[in-house]
Amino acid sequence: MPGKPLGCCCSEFLLCLFCRRCHFSSVGRVEGPAMVLKIFFPKCCNTADSGLLVGRWVPGQDSAVVLAVIHYPFIPGQVKKYLSQIRDQTQVDLTVLGSWSKPKDGQEGMDSFLKDLSTIFPHSRWLQLSRESGKRAFTCRVVQNNGTPPADQEGDEKVIFIHYDQRKVMLSQLHPIQEKSSEKGSSELRVVFQTVAQSQPLFFLDRYDEGPLKLTHWQSEGREASIIVELLKQASVPLCVVLTWLVSVWQWLCSFRCLHTWPVQFISSKLSTCVQSGYRTDHFQTVFSTKRATTHIEFMRKANIFVSFLLDVALGLLLISWLYRENRISQLANTLVPVADHVAKELQELLEWLMGAPAGLKMNRALDEVLGRFFLYHIHLWISYIRLMSPFIEMILWYVGLSACLGLTFALSVLSDIVALLTFHIYCFYVYGARLYCLKIYGLSSLWRLFRGKKWNVLRQRVDSCSYDLDQLFIGTLLFTILLFLLPTTALYYLVFTLLRLVVVMFQGLIHLSVDFINSFPLFAMGLRVCRPYRLAEGVKFRVLSEEPGAPLHLMMEINPLKFSSVLQGYRTPTYSCYPRDSWAALCKKLFVGELIYPWRQKSTKTD
């Protein structure tokens, strides 16, 4: 029944169709091995007037791709000259495949005239396609270059017409992408897509143009164009030159030797704002480059980066409009200092609680007092620093808010750096507690090996046997006992400050995830998938258009769009991530032994 779907390209039908292993009758029944001639015919030519079929024979396959129909009147010499010019432009072996006949009043002798042209355009086979009035399907007769039908041609049922939308096939990109693959190693379907895409200059000439030839193809009703788009293309070249120069000046300023000294380089690598600035500089250099994108991957990368930057700036401007209305900067500055004082007060109460008997635990009194007073001194220093900076906080926030004009990602990066500066005392507490705890853990592990007559071989990186004298065992026992009884007090401080540090890291991680999402999300590719799903093709599917007895089978080729998950995975812009480099097991091991963790370290996520 017409319109019945035949499934996707992995079904048994398509395996037989494109591998030419079986022969299909008019009702779609597999009858056995046979050579099947497949003709890819554009549906825009179904109603075209009589003329010549221009296209290409697929090399190594029993298939032909029809691209356009040349109408009478024409001169064969002009046709050959025009096709030679198109071949030089497209590097596609275009030729005259045969004739196309459609009954029309006043053109009764056109069929015989078109059949005689097979001697002027010699080829191994000549296709004679004809369509009768009132019928949906049309017939095909394959003639050898000597004027006789092929020896194995017993009827029209060995020919399968595959109708396709020429515009969608030309604009679509079949995945997986094979940019550098040769046609010999490509599938037949991929060669068809490449042939239509590379033949774009053939579609510039339509029947309304003043020229020696009149053609029918997907742009026969006039080429799609926009004067605004053309003006933007012309204006983008000098604009890109200016922007590229500005980016080069910025890179020259950043290349000064004083900015590459160890302290400056170390601090800039830890500041999220500096990292985001370098990241956006690379993006600007890619987008504003005057070099034309030659591959699909380069074009999509440029488009995704450009759209992501526009979205970033738009969100930043919205943030600026919200911040500078109703005096919200002053309100934020007046709130920030009391919040910092409240956090410092809570930390002071927490330390006083740890210096007593926390949760009924009996701690080492002397060590508890030393650690508590040491950390309380840091809190007093921090409160003094906040009091000193309080008159300038509103002015700092005022200028920091202007950074949002460069994009929301810059504002979020600045916010991450502000959080890191405001919680620097918590980071110091964590480092002190982690180093002290780690020292005791490694000391206990070394002394435990001493009791068992073992030692760590640094050269061979293994544990070897060793004999110790009585004095060494006595001193080791004494140190082991001291470290063991001091460990609960140190571990409690380390646990509390590690939890506080993890809270800050989680908040910074959410900010980094937001920045990473804006930078890497392929918004342009997702927009194509929603608005024009045929642009990103995962495969094709077929449905029956006509299956009349004694006539070839007519199929309609439709494009299967790429899945959203595949679009996100394939077109995601390479960027950094705030995830830790280690696995969760390695992270837990580091926390247990007291090694410092830096979850904000950059992680390269570049993919080929």
Lowest mean pLDDT among 127-136, 330-339, 358-367, 371-380: 127-136
Please report the beta strands in 514-562, taking only residues with DSSP state E, as ranges in sequence order: 536-546, 553-561
Our measurement of the distance from residue 32's CA atom to the centroid of its chain's CA atoms, rounded to an integer in Å, reads: 44
Q: What is the mean pLDDT of residues 317-329?
A: 87
**Residue 148 pLDDT:** 54
B/e letters for 84-101, b = 16+ CB within 10 Å, e = fewer, are eebeeebebebbbbbbbb
The pLDDT of residue 467: 79
Give the pLDDT of residue 24.
Answer: 39
| pLDDT-derived band at 111, boundaries 50, 70, 90 | low
- Per-residue pLDDT averaged across 313-341, rounded? 87
pLDDT at 526 over 90: yes
Q: Which of 542, 559, 554 is nearest to 24 (CA)?
A: 554
Is 90 exceeded by the pLDDT of residue 391?
no
Query: pLDDT-derived band of residue 237, with 50, 70 and 90 as boundaries?
Result: low
* Of the candidates 335, 340, 328, 327, the residue with the CA atom closest to the CA atom of residue 388: 340
Could you tell me the sign of the dihedral formed by the alpha carbons of 38, 43, 45, 47, in that order? positive
Pairwise pLDDT comparison (3 vs 256), residue with the higher score: 256
Average of per-residue pLDDT across 199-223 = 72
pLDDT surpasses 50 at 26? no
- pLDDT at residue 607 in the model: 37
Integer Cα distance of 186 and 165 in angstroms: 21
Q: pLDDT tens digit string along 417-426?
A: 888 888 888 8
Lowest mean pLDDT among 230-239, 347-356, 450-459: 230-239
Q: What are phi and psi of 161, to 5 degrees?
A: -95, 130
Q: Tokens 């990103």 sit at which residue?
A: 536
Look up residue 175 and give its amino acid: H
At 581 the pLDDT is: 56
* Segment 482-502, tens digit of pLDDT: 888 888 899 999 999 999 999
537-569 residue pLDDT tens: 888 888 888 877 777 888 999 999 999 999 988
CA atoms within 13 A of residue 441's CA, in its CB half-sphere? 16
Mean pLDDT over 293-302 rounds to 85
Alpha-carbon distances, residue 340 vs 76, 337, 384, 593 (angstroms): 86, 5, 11, 31
Nearest to 187 by CA among 55, 6, 38: 38
Higher pLDDT, 28 or 422: 422
- Res. 573: pLDDT tops 60: yes
Which single residue is written with the structure tokens 């109703």?
326
pTM: 0.76
pLDDT (tens digit per residue) in 49-68: 888 899 998 887 888 899 98
CA 233 to chain centre: 25
- Tell me phi and psi for residue 535, to 5 degrees: -65, -30
Are the beta carbons of 218 and 44 closer than 8 angstroms? yes
Q: If DSSP codes are grouped into helix, strand and coil, which group holds residue 540? A: strand
Residue with tokens 């507690």: 433
CB atoms inside a 10 Å sphere around CB 600: 19
C-alpha to C-alpha distances, 577 to 193, 278, 608, nearest whole angstrom: 37, 15, 17
